[in-house]
Amino acid sequence: MAAGKDGAIRASNATDIDAKTLGEAEKLHAVDFPKDALGRIAVSIAGQVQAVKAVRGLPKALDLQPASRFDPRMPGRSYKPQQNRLRLHDEKIPPLPKADIDIAYASVTQQAHWLRTRQLTSARLTDIYLDRIRRIDPKLHAFITVTDSIAHAQAKQRDAELAAGQSRGPLHGIPYALKDVVDTAGILSTYGSSLYRDRVPTEDATIATELRESGAVLLGKVATAELANGATWFGGMVRNPWNLEEPSGGSSAGSGSSVAAGLCSFAIGTDSLGSILNPADRCGVTGLRPTFGRVPVHGCMPLTPSLERIGPLCRRIEDAAIVLSVINGPDPTSIGSIDFGFEYDSEIDLSKIKVGYSPKWFDQVGFGSDVAGTTDLTGMISTSRGHLNGLAAMQASGVEMVEVELPKLPYYALLESLYVESAAIFEELTLSGKDAQLIAPWADSWRQSRFLSAVDYYQIERFRRQVMQMMDEMFDRVDLLFTPTYGSFDLLMVANFTGHPGITFRSGFAELATRDLGAVPANPAGPKHRITSNVSMHGRLFEEGKMLAVARVLEEKLDVWRERPPIG
């Protein structure tokens, strides 16, 4: 391939390919073929190049799905069916506070109670959040679009329905924010990119419809990092409410920041490689990444068909259980959809739970890999007292702790699947040269993916199956895996590619200098800020209920969720 004067990528002419060309190409794929074979391939390869060009030239909708289907379930395994049932903890809910800020930071459960008992109206709750967005968001850049008029109209309707004795469920009248990769009819849905900043879809995504029908009130569209990569969109970098000098994490950057700053009751994020868990960890909120296939992805920005998931970011554990109960369900338009019920029972018997952990995971945190020979992207830093408090709380909870270790395998190779899938979805940007306009660091990753052979990609997918088998065997020994969110980057990445659910939630605090997107401060000697520390759990497929129930017990024991960031 070569770049034209306009920056577009032109396909090389197959007649230019000779044995010497192929000899150089061998280096890209770590192969060494007989010299006479290269001469023969140079003659026959024209047909292969023509086939590639023919398919490339066909019009393809951005949301066109591949013929291959990823399914996290293992052959021969049975998965116990679940009823759609919530059994929340019997919490004594106090009367409505007088101060707006106390109402804004209350849990979904508390707000829903005040709405049902007519102590609070959805209109007032919505106004509280819209006022906070106006005052605070200019410091955070968390919202791309604020839907004031829609929010007011929906809140007024929800109040009228409650006055008539009609409730749509636990989210009735609750204001929320939606990541701007989710289509909303008649409302800007920009993907966080200047290339799509004027994009207005004509239909709602399935999840947007589900939330509207559940009675939730849409406050607006919160920032996604451009095309779901990083923490920056065309309006700027989303800030962490605990330290405005550092990014909020990504790519569900606005979701994490807005929930932490009390700008909404909850937010929706999406995840292809930690894009829910990362901002939730950075901002000290609860982030739930459900089992692959649980939540409908129809109408959301396509990026990685075998990886993408949708989940809630909330201030408390049971809020996440409530939201998942609403958005869980089959999607007849998606090849990856799995129809599976969701049960949550807060009164779990902890003595029957086995929790796997490694002391190494509670030694350091960061984006480094345990695999020799990999690049340490951002370095590692010692775990905080908050992380260790989380471990102590788990050990004292009554569960059985089991030491585990991940086998030494080249997990980093799985990342190639993410790059290949996203490069295929957004191929038009690469071939047209528009990728040069991106803020997000996608362009060279997508260009590099063009040089990965199809055979090697398929072998990586076979390796992925090996990793799925490994995790399946590990979950024969334990119910959950417990770690600081980035205590093992390998584990976080593996659970992403195997489709297992994960949750992160606050366990304490740390004093740390300003970070960039990594875990290590850019200047460790710089001024210290009080920031949050999160721990995470990864569970068996479809066992979010068990994971959430254990997390709720820890949330109660640690009792650190109440502290608010210094903003607003």
Query: Could you read off the pLDDT of 213-258 as tens digits, one per residue?
Result: 999 999 999 999 999 999 999 999 999 999 999 999 999 999 999 9
Q: Identify residue 4 by its one-letter amino acid code.
A: G
Q: Do 271 and 328 touch, CB atoms closer than 8 A?
A: no
Please tell me the pTM assigned to this model: 0.95
Q: Which of 73-82, 364-373, 406-415, 472-481 has the lowest mean pLDDT?
A: 364-373
68 catalytic per annotation: no
Residue 16 — very low, low, confident or very high, per pLDDT cuts 50/70/90?
confident
The structure tokens listed for 449 are 């993916």
Query: Could you read off the pLDDT of 520-549 as tens digits, one per residue?
Result: 998 999 999 999 999 999 999 999 999 999
Q: CB under 8 Å to 497, separation ≥6 — which residues? A: 307, 414, 417, 464, 467, 468
Query: Could you read off the pLDDT of 24-36 as tens digits, one per residue?
Result: 999 999 999 999 9
On the CB side of 432, CA atoms within 13 Å amount to 10
What is the C-alpha to C-alpha distance for residues 434 and 195, in angstroms, rounded to an integer? 8
Average pLDDT over residues 45-57: 93
**List 122, 179, 252, 272, catalytic entry:** 179
pLDDT of residue 378: 57
Query: Could you read off the pLDDT of 71-81 as tens digits, one per residue?
Result: 999 999 999 99
Residue 435 — very low, low, confident or very high, per pLDDT cuts 50/70/90?
very high
Residue 11 has pLDDT above 80, yes or no: no
306 catalytic per annotation: no
Count helices and strands in the chain by DSSP H and E runs: 17, 21
pLDDT of residue 368: 74
The structure tokens listed for 332 are 């007849």
What is the C-alpha to C-alpha distance for residues 186 and 201, in angstroms, rounded to an integer? 6
Q: Identify residue 206 by its one-letter amino acid code.
A: T
Q: Where are the domains of the chain?
A: 1-58, 98-330+349-411+457-558
Residue 369 — very low, low, confident or very high, per pLDDT cuts 50/70/90?
low
Residue 334 has pLDDT above 80, yes or no: yes
**End-to-end Cα separation, the chain, in angstroms:** 52
**List 193, 275, 417, 445, catalytic entry:** 275
pLDDT of residue 15: 67
Q: What is the mean pLDDT of the chain?
A: 95
Residue 568 — very low, low, confident or very high, per pLDDT cuts 50/70/90?
confident
Residue 4 has pLDDT above 90, yes or no: no
Q: What is the DSSP string of 211-262?
A: HHHTT-EEEEEEPPPGGGSSSEETTEEPEETTEEEEE--SSSHHHHHHHHTT
Instruction: Write down the CATH superfamily of domain 98-330+349-411+457-558.
Output: Amidase signature (AS) domain (3.90.1300.10)
**Residues across the chain:** 568
SS3 call for 32: coil
pLDDT of residue 327: 98
What is the C-alpha to C-alpha distance for residues 476 and 159, in angstroms, rounded to an integer? 48
| 155 φ/ψ sector (left φ>0, alpha ψ -120 to 50, else beta) | alpha
What is the C-alpha to C-alpha distance for residues 504 and 164, in angstroms, rounded to an integer? 39
251 catalytic per annotation: yes
- Cis peptide before 251, with omega less than 30 degrees from 0? yes
Residue 372 — very low, low, confident or very high, per pLDDT cuts 50/70/90?
very low
pLDDT of residue 9: 54
Query: Could you read off the pLDDT of 108-132 as tens digits, one per residue?
Result: 999 999 999 999 999 999 999 999 9
**List 107, 214, 251, 536, catalytic entry:** 251
Q: For residue 143, with 0-12 CB atoms within 10 Å meaning exposed, 13-18 middle and 19 or more buried, which class applies?
A: buried
On the CB side of 75, CA atoms within 13 Å amount to 3
